[in-house]
């Protein structure tokens, strides 16, 4: 009897591990990026660019891809995360915490972004479609102009804190953290976001979100608490963005200007990445991030000044020809084959 | 003194508001019919300002000539984009159409930059001025006000009096019902998109009657955001609501600027913009169908 119970248990755990197989290609991509950067130091700047776009897509996808709600003000969470890092360093650089101040910065960025997402989620998520998109633009722009207009946190002159970092950790350590570890954190955030995405997909949350994306009213009638799951996805996605902003902007650049970190262009880049890769898929944001980052880098190097002129028609062709993205199209092709287990 | 300044600014605000309203009607027409938000809206306004600039500087003609020309350019571009891109996305999720219109806007900006360069441009079209007790108004601004109102009346008459206008309103009200009545819904989509873009490019010309400096391929972004606020104010999907929304917006923007300038230690220009977005959020919460919108 006991042995039967045991075998059932071990079988279940195998099933559980199998559930997470689709993480392998995603983590493979991130590991490969990291290794390329380590082995070829001259490639590190390209690697960091790609890592940022992958992380942005992966974090944004948790909300935009899974719910189908278009949050045009997503960059506000990254911006607040960057401010969290700035304020965290500014407040704690004389406490003798050494490297600890960075974690204070990340946690503060996470908290600030989460707090904003709670407020926005409670208020704006009552709206749908275009109204939601416009409301979120309003939040982002409103925040930016509040900081500039009321001269909050340095106003439009922003915050610069390279000196404080040096004081707290010494010049050498600061350099390594700013040029290397900040980017490693970005890859870690991408990996965490990917894990959360798959966890949501494989649980009740994922089913609820799929139902919500397909038909919100029908989902409601079926007794799904749509609001709860919507807000959950929104807050998760925003907190990831907060950490991403804290490390990839706040820590890496050691300065924050409101005009830079509330730039709506980053939201659009995130949307392009998700749509390129396939909205609501796990591998999509990583694939889209790589493709977007590489083509942006390549076009910029080959056709300086007119890269956007070339890029705009490419976006349009992709939207019309592959509305489901790379991974979405691929998933249809491999249905029923062994590969299906590894792609989600 | 303050009262004089305030009434002067409000007069300017009224004129600017009429232009803003006129510039938002295209956005609302497209949304009303197709439920697509044109995120590249500002780029088409920018295009209009460059049409005006080119007509005045290169051909030496009065910018009034640019008004019908800009409408034709916009109408043609609208049809082109509809047949190759937007028309294929009418049943796609929002994400696709939002990104498509953004990319179209980007394309317009980049082509303009490619042709005209990215430096700031401007011209001076001076036909005299009128002195009022509290402010001085250049005559071009009065032209802008009158033309904006004429355009609104023309659009109203078209929607109410003509066969195609009535068909368009039928599509806004009930797509399936209109189809059953024998209205070619796809043609109405194409028509509304082309006219919407035409109106938007035309509004760019009229904008140069108010401010004819600071023209730049990337100037449109700020107007896109303003148009969103105005569209929500007047009720998304209602072209005439947009006009009144624009007037209110112009008055609030200029009025609050004057009042905020009195507070020391802040930046009134940025805070004015904060106020407008704050109003947007309040309206979206209280009356998502718009302040003037009728359901």
Minimal Cα–Cα distance from A72 to chain B, Å? 10
Contact B232 A131 (CB under 8 A): yes
pTM: 0.85
- Distance separating alpha carbons of residues A323 and A23, to the nearest angstrom: 24
**Token digits of residue B42:** 């500002």
A21 to chain B, any CB pair closer than 8 A? The answer is no
| Radius of gyration (C-alpha) of chain A in whole angstroms | 21
CA dihedral B197→A311→B34→A140, nearest 10 degrees, is -90
Closest CA to A325 of A293, A294, A279, A259: A279
Reported as a single tens digit per residue, the pLDDT across B162-216 is 999 999 999 988 888 989 998 999 999 999 999 999 999 999 999 998 888 889 9
Q: Where residue B236 falls among pLDDT bands split at 50, 70, 90?
A: confident
| Residues A85 and A251: beta-carbon distance below 8 Å | yes
Contact B35 A309 (CB under 8 A): no
pLDDT at B147: 93
- Distance separating alpha carbons of residues A90 and B107, to the nearest angstrom: 42
The sign of the dihedral angle between the CA atoms of A326, A327, A331, A332 is negative
- Neighbouring-strand partners of residue A255: A160
Minimal Cα–Cα distance from A210 to chain B, Å? 14
The mean per-residue pLDDT over the stretch B52-76 comes to: 92
Minimal Cα–Cα distance from B173 to chain A, Å? 18
A273 assigned to some structural domain: yes
Read off the DSSP letter of residue B57.
H
Domain count, chain A: 1
Residues of A whose CB is below 8 A from B102: 268, 271
In chain A, which residue's Cα lies nearest the Cα of B114? A306
Residues of B whose CB is below 8 A from A151: 265-267
pLDDT at A331: 82
| Residues B77 and B201: beta-carbon distance below 8 Å | yes
Burial group, residue A218, by CB count within 10 angstroms (0-12, 13-18, 19+) = exposed
Which ranges of chain B would DSSP assign to H, the alpha helix? 2-34, 41-57, 66-84, 94-116, 139-161, 163-173, 175-180, 185-210, 220-234, 239-260, 268-286
A169 assigned to some structural domain: yes
A160 assigned to some structural domain: yes
Q: Where residue A13 falls among pLDDT bands split at 50, 70, 90?
A: low
Mutate to test the interface with B, among A120, A130, A275, A280 (most CBs of B within 10 A): A130
Contact A131 B92 (CB under 8 A): no
- For residue B287, count other CB atoms closer than 10 A to its CB: 15
Minimal Cα–Cα distance from A19 to chain B, Å? 29
Mutate to test the interface with A, among B270, B272, B285 (most CBs of A within 10 A): B270
The mean per-residue pLDDT over the stretch A56-80 comes to: 91
In chain A, which residue's Cα lies nearest the Cα of B94? A129
Read off the DSSP letter of residue A337.
S
CA atoms within 13 A on the CB side of A276: 24
Closest CA to B87 of B155, B48, B33: B33
**Phi and psi, residue B35, nearest 5°:** 60, 35
- Distance separating alpha carbons of residues B60 and B40, to the nearest angstrom: 30
**Token digits of residue B68:** 């019908």
pLDDT at A4: 47
What CATH number labels B2-109+135-286? 1.10.3470
pLDDT > 80? residue B292: no
In chain A, which residue's Cα lies nearest the Cα of B289? A131
3-state class (DSSP) for residue B137: strand
Give the H/E segment covering residue A76: helix A75-92
Which of A135, A145, A268 is facing B274, going by the closest CB pair? A145
List, as one string, the DSSP characters of B201-245.
HHHHHHHHHH--EEE-TTTHHHHHHHHHHHHHHH-TT-HHHHHHH
Contact B94 A323 (CB under 8 A): no
- Distance separating alpha carbons of residues B40 and B106, to the nearest angstrom: 7
**Phi and psi, residue A47, nearest 5°:** -60, -45
The CATH number covering residue A153 comes to: 1.10.3470
List, as one string, the DSSP characters of A115-173.
HHHHHHHHHHTTS-HHHHHHHHHHHHHHHHHHHHHTTGGGGGG-EE-HHHHHHHH-HHH
- Distance separating alpha carbons of residues A65 and A286, to the nearest angstrom: 13
Residues spanned by the domain of A152:
22-342
Domains in chain B: boundaries: 2-109+135-286
Give the H/E segment covering residue B291: none
Minimal Cα–Cα distance from B64 to chain A, Å? 31
pLDDT > 90? residue A115: yes
pLDDT > 80? residue B264: no
A130 to chain B, any CB pair closer than 8 A? The answer is yes
Q: What are the C-alpha distances in Å from B256 to residues A147, B1, B248, B261?
A: 18, 16, 12, 8
In sequence order, the 6+-apart residues with CB closer than 8 A to the CB of A281 are A61, A65, A325, A327, A328, A331, A343, A344
pLDDT at B136: 85
A122 to chain B, any CB pair closer than 8 A? The answer is no
Q: Where residue B10 falls among pLDDT bands split at 50, 70, 90?
A: confident
Contact B99 A268 (CB under 8 A): yes
Mean pLDDT of all residues in chain A?
86
| Residues B28 and B193: beta-carbon distance below 8 Å | no
ipTM above 0.85, yes or no: no
Mutate to test the interface with B, among A72, A125, A127, A135 (most CBs of B within 10 A): A135
Q: What are the C-alpha distances in Å from B59 to residues B52, B62, B73, B217?
A: 10, 9, 17, 20
Residues of B whose CB is below 8 A from A75: none
Contact B85 A135 (CB under 8 A): no
In sequence order, the 6+-apart residues with CB closer than 8 A to the CB of B57 are B123
In sequence order, the 6+-apart residues with CB closer than 8 A to the CB of A63 are A69, A71, A74, A233, A234, A236, A237, A238
Which of A130, A135, A312 is facing B31, going by the closest CB pair? A130
Reported as a single tens digit per residue, the pLDDT across A307-321 is 888 888 888 888 888
Q: Where residue B54 falls among pLDDT bands split at 50, 70, 90?
A: very high
pLDDT at A11: 55
In chain B, which residue's Cα lies nearest the Cα of A124? B285
Residues of B whose CB is below 8 A from A123: 281, 285
Q: Where residue B110 falls among pLDDT bands split at 50, 70, 90?
A: very high
Conformational region of residue A254, where left means phi above 0, alpha means psi within -120 to 50, and beta covers everything else: left
Mutate to test the interface with B, among A281, A310, A316 (most CBs of B within 10 A): A316
Residue with tokens 């990583």: A286
């Amino acid at each position: 009897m006991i042995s039967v119970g045991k075998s059932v248990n071990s079988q279940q755990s195998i099933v559980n591990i199998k559930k997470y197989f689709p993480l392998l290609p995603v983590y493979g991509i991130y590991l490969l990026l990291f290794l390329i950067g380590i082995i070829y130091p001259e490639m590190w700047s390209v690697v960091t660019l790609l890592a940022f776009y992958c992380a942005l897509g992966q974090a944004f996808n948790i909300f935009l891809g899974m719910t189908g709600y278009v949050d045009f003000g997503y960059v506000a969470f990254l911006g607040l995360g960057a401010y969290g890092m700035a304020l965290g360093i500014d407040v704690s650089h004389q406490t003798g915490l050494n490297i600890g101040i960075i974690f204070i910065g990340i946690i503060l960025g996470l908290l600030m972004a989460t707090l904003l997402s709670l407020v926005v989620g409670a208020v704006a998520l009552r709206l749908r479609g275009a109204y939601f998109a416009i409301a979120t633009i309003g939040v982002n722009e409103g925040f930016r102009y509040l900081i500039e207009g009321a001269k909050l946190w340095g106003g439009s002159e922003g915050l610069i804190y390279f000196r404080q970092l040096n004081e707290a950790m010494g010049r050498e350590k600061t350099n390594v953290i700013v040029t290397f570890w900040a980017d490693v954190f970005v890859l870690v955030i991408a990996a965490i976001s990917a894990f959360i995405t798959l966890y949501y997909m494989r649980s009740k949350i994922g089913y609820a979100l799929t139902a919500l994306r397909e038909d919100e009213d029908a989902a409601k009638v079926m007794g799904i608490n749509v609001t709860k799951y919507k807000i959950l996805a929104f807050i998760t996605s925003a907190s990831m963005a907060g950490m991403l902003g804290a490390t990839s902007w706040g820590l890496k650049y050691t300065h924050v200007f409101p005009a830079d970190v509330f730039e709506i262009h980053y939201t659009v880049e995130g949307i392009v990445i998700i749509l390129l890769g396939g909205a609501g898929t796990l591998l999509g944001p990583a694939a889209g991030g790589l493709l977007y980052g590489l083509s942006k880098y390549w076009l910029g190097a080959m056709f300086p000044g007119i890269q956007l002129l070339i890029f705009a028609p490419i976006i349009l062709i992709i939207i019309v020809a592959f509305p489901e993205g790379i991974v979405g199209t691929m998933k249809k092709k491999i249905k029923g084959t062994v590969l299906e287990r590894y792609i989600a | 003194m303050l009262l004089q300044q305030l009434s002067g600014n409000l007069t300017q605000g009224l004129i600017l508001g009429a232009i803003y309203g006129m510039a938002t009607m295209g956005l609302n027409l497209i949304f009303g019919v197709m439920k697509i938000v044109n995120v590249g809206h500002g780029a088409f306004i920018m295009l209009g300002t460059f049409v005006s600039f080119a007509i005045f500087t290169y051909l030496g003609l009065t910018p009034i000539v640019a008004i019908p020309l800009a409408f034709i350019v916009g109408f043609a571009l609208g049809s082109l984009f509809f047949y190759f891109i937007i028309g294929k996305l009418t049943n796609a999720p929002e994400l696709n159409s939002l990104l498509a219109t953004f990319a179209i806007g980007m394309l317009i900006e980049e082509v303009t930059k490619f042709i005209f360069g990215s430096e700031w441009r401007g011209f001076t079209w001076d036909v005299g001025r009128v002195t009022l007790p509290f402010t001085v108004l250049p005559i071009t601004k009065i032209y802008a006000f009158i033309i904006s109102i004429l355009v609104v009346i023309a659009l109203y008459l078209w929607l109410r009096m003509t066969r195609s206008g009535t068909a368009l309103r039928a599509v806004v009200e009930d797509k399936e019902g209109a189809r059953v009545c024998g209205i070619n819904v796809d043609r109405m989509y194409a028509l509304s998109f082309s006219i919407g873009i035409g109106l938007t490019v035309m509004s760019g010309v009229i904008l140069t009657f108010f401010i004819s400096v600071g023209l730049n391929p990337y100037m449109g972004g700020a107007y896109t955001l303003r148009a969103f606020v105005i569209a929500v104010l007047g009720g998304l999907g209602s072209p005439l609501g947009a006009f009144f929304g624009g007037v209110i917006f112009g008055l609030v923007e200029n009025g609050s600027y004057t009042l905020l300038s009195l507070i020391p230690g802040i930046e009134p220009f940025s805070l004015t913009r904060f106020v407008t977005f704050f109003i947007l959020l309040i309206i979206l919460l209280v009356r998502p169908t718009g302040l003037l919108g009728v359901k």
